[in-house]
């Protein structure tokens, strides 16, 4: 599992799909014993309120972390390794341009924006001001 997958998991992405799929499978199995089962209904993907989840985590965290601007703080808040090596691994995973990989400040800024954008792409509710 990649680092971005860990970020998605820590924020609860996919939990609704897994729970709903398990419930649908159980219902289908029960119905199969009684009668032929109809095709399962599509499962709606609920938005994950990224800001609310991260703000809640930040409120209860021992350190004051500025996750809205810092990829290091965002990763710390999620309990992930925020070392330069881990950030480089995440940047490589997300396709960071080579010219930004050589400058950790540029890489970090790119990485922060890209992570938030990809959270939004995966169903996360992320305000536009954090995506700019």
| pLDDT value at residue 41 | 45
pLDDT digits (tens, 9 = 90+) for 52-109: 999 999 999 999 999 999 999 999 999 999 999 999 999 999 999 999 999 999 999 9
Quick check: 71 and 115 in contact, CB under 8 A? yes
Please state the pTM of the whole predicted model.
Answer: 0.75
Over residues 119-128, the mean pLDDT reads 92
Q: Could you give the 3-state DSSP secondary structure of residue 125?
A: strand
Q: Where are the domains of the chain?
A: 3-131
Token pair belonging to 125:
């509710």
pLDDT digits (tens, 9 = 90+) for 30-65: 444 444 445 444 444 458 899 999 999 999 999 999
Quick check: 7 and 78 in contact, CB under 8 A? yes
């Amino acid at each position: 599992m990649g680092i971005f997958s860990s970020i998605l998991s820590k924020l609860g992405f996919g939990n609704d799909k897994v729970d709903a799929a398990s419930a649908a499978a159980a219902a289908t199995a029960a119905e199969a014993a009684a009668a032929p089962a109809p095709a399962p209904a599509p499962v709606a993907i609920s938005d994950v309120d990224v800001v609310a989840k991260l703000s809640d985590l930040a409120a209860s965290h021992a350190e004051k972390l500025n996750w809205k601007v810092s990829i290091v703080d965002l990763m710390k808040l999620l309990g992930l390794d925020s070392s330069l090596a881990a950030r480089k691994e995440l940047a490589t995973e997300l396709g960071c341009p080579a010219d930004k990989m050589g400058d950790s400040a540029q890489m970090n800024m790119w990485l922060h924006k890209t992570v938030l954008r990809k959270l939004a792409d995966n169903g996360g509710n992320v305000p536009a001001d954090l995506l700019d």
